[in-house]
Structure 1
């Protein structure tokens, strides 16, 4: 259902009240791209390598810091100053689609979605439309000490929860009194979310209008998460209490931590030479085999109000995105940035499929699960982790924690229920 910008903005509590403006059509014939981080720095070189047709519009890259990008997108929408194309973190797509800031992907370019990881594409599918084209991907999995697991009798961390936990006890027994098996910072939601997705928890119900944190699957995940602290396999500590992650990992203070592909370069740069053959990556464990994870990364969008918003796949903006997603451009992009390609076929060309460290990420992405696609999601998982930490510290039982997370989620979703009742939510 199409809504006025005023009603869209008024219906979403998470957005600033100042959002009352709109995106006007651009009079210029050039294409501006907003991009962030290393991708913004590498994009001009990638664009220079593209084979673009004669007379194609000039392209300008405007870099944004990640720390300010979300607010810049919202204020740009309010002031009608959004560019033609933008790099958008996948967790922001639901919010931008809900307020009407981005245009749906036209059917003429849906072919770009066929060589992709299904969970990443599903993240960008809201309602009946796809709203963004995945550009690069990431997810979180286990980084582990191969030597410590070998000493405990395992070539790699087992992939079933029960066997995985038994292996952790063996690894912990190898260390000293202050050593643990796994690091699960109590101020980070990603680890509990991974366990919940692996347990098959749906997290929200009623079309994303209410929490599902009291359902059996999530309670099983909470109980398993809590047991890792109760059995002293994980320290009750926040990330800020770990003085140096790399040093503690090298010392064997813990044998597993969860992170994403950006950590590969950090470990190769920060660990001493003698440690380089002593770590690896592995998919997350699950109740009955390989577990799940949330898909991440960034996608390319076309903003409403630009010339491409009419949905014409031949528009220069969509043509440029198509060229940026070609296998050749994806390979060059991976070489420039080190990012994991969105297109699965490029993994082989880039040598990632043969690299055991990166091959685990491909396996994990094949088992990933899209998280609920509601604008309030980031606030909900923040509340989830606040309650989970209090549970770990003994303030809630598992059942009480589930009910408390539901209560907090339902409060955050009040506006969504109001909009659903009026047919104003996508």
Structure 2
């Protein structure tokens, strides 16, 4: 049976194993550490190289890396966190916004001390670090990130006389108006792309929901959030994106590849699909960060990605923490970012991907990245998603304040079912 350990690890650094009384080779032979990673998060070659290096430098540990699918993963992880099986994982990769669900049951190891002492917590991307924390304790350790940028056609920018990508939202609107002429779409922006809307709301100082007196309430009706929605409305009108669908219906990569579309807001990796659809665009695709209110910094963006967690029920907490430290440390985190075109977990590592235009644009935006509201009940909002309906109604001409109040009330109901 697996033995439960105290929630906080007093001494878990790989560098301090001997001080903790856990010596390499102690107990005879290697200890197996089971690691769950998600499919396509890391290439097979990366995992081979990491495993060989880690086992060479940690001669008492053997890694057993098991690949998981995203479909059904929340239930599978929740089951594993309660398991006494010897096959239960010691380290788990989880989506950054999923961490609050697992923290709620008190089944993750508190890694705060390591985060502060050895892992450079002060430089972590906020969109990965914030969802991994709870009440000043760090449970999820940032691993890698991805976020939206503007993918654009260089030939259409030249045609419109635009010599450099915009750096402010005002200039972005002005440039997009120039691009939206002569049969071209200045931008293709679906009416229900709520992740992109979120960035505009955050830029204005608003949020999707806010916690007051230990209760979460929808916040789309705040003045700041309404300003973000108004900018979205102006930008979306400079193209032919459907107001009643999201960016996957139809897939915006197909729209960009098949028509005279100057810009879309998407992760850089989508360019691969665009070029597959239309190889002629291979040398005409460029990238820039979503512009901010001022030229001082890019706009806020939703940051997706993964954190690594250590279940509380592991019987190898020190070994598991050594694995987390290695995977998220500068050497291997940089290697992963270069291999997979990700954003590294720290702002100080952004230079590692500076040579790749799309990833460099993504890294610039990630420095001001955010995540969805930090509550384990947020998945209920995404399942019902009143934000999408709100956006469609506003873009169809409804009063923004009225619709924002309705959507905010629905968000409050979903986050606080007892709300009257």
Per the shorter chain, which TM-score range?
Answer: 0.7 to 0.9
1:231–1:280 Cα change, 3 Å: closer
Tell me whether 1:406 sits opposite 2:411 in the alignment. no
State the match for 1:276 in structure 2. 282
1:357–1:287 Cα change, 3 Å: same
Which of 385, 389, 393 is residue 388 of structure 2 equivalent to?
385
Q: Distance in 2 between matches of 1:268 and 1:133?
A: 34
Unaligned runs of 5+ in 1: 1-27, 310-314, 419-426
Which of 160, 166, 170 is residue 162 of structure 1 equivalent to?
170
1:102–1:261 Cα change, 3 Å: farther
State the match for 1:21 in structure 2. none
TM-score, normalisation: structure 1: 0.79
State the match for 1:83 in structure 2. 89
Which of 214, 220, 223 is residue 213 of structure 1 equivalent to?
220
State the match for 2:146 in structure 1. 138
Please state how far the C-alpha of 1:386 moved relative to its aligned partner. Answer: 2.6
Cα pair 1:132 1:301 within 8 Å, conserved: yes
Tell me whether 1:226 sits opposite 2:233 in the alignment. yes
State the match for 2:78 in structure 1. 74
Which runs of 4 or more aligned residues in structure 1 lie more than 6 Å from their structure 2 counterparts after TM superposition?
none
Richer in helix (by share): 1
Unaligned runs of 5+ in 2: 1-29
Which of 176, 187, 191 is residue 186 of structure 1 equivalent to?
191
Cα pair 2:149 2:288 within 8 Å, conserved: yes
State the match for 2:27 in structure 1. none
Cα pair 1:146 1:156 within 8 Å, conserved: no
SS at match of 1:411: helix
Residues 143-179 of structure 1: CA deviation (Å, up to 9, x unaligned): 11122122222234423333222221211113x2xx5
Please state how far the C-alpha of 1:227 moved relative to its aligned partner. Answer: 3.1
Residues 99-150 of structure 1: CA deviation (Å, up to 9, x unaligned): 2232221403432124433443233222111111111111112111122122
Q: Distance in 1 between matches of 2:274 and 2:253?
A: 7
Cα pair 2:412 2:419 within 8 Å, conserved: no
Please state how far the C-alpha of 1:318 moved relative to its aligned partner. Answer: 0.6
Q: Distance in 2 between matches of 1:306 and 1:373?
A: 26
1:208–1:52 Cα change, 3 Å: farther
Q: Distance in 2 between matches of 1:40 and 1:417?
A: 43
Q: Distance in 1 between matches of 2:342 and 2:331?
A: 15
State the match for 1:201 in structure 2. 206
After TM superposition, the structure 1 = structure 2 runs for residues 242-391 of structure 1, keeping only pairs within 5 Å, are: 242=250, 245-267=252-274, 269-272=276-279, 274-289=280-295, 290-307=298-315, 315-348=318-351, 350=352, 352-381=353-382, 382-391=385-394
SS at match of 2:386: helix
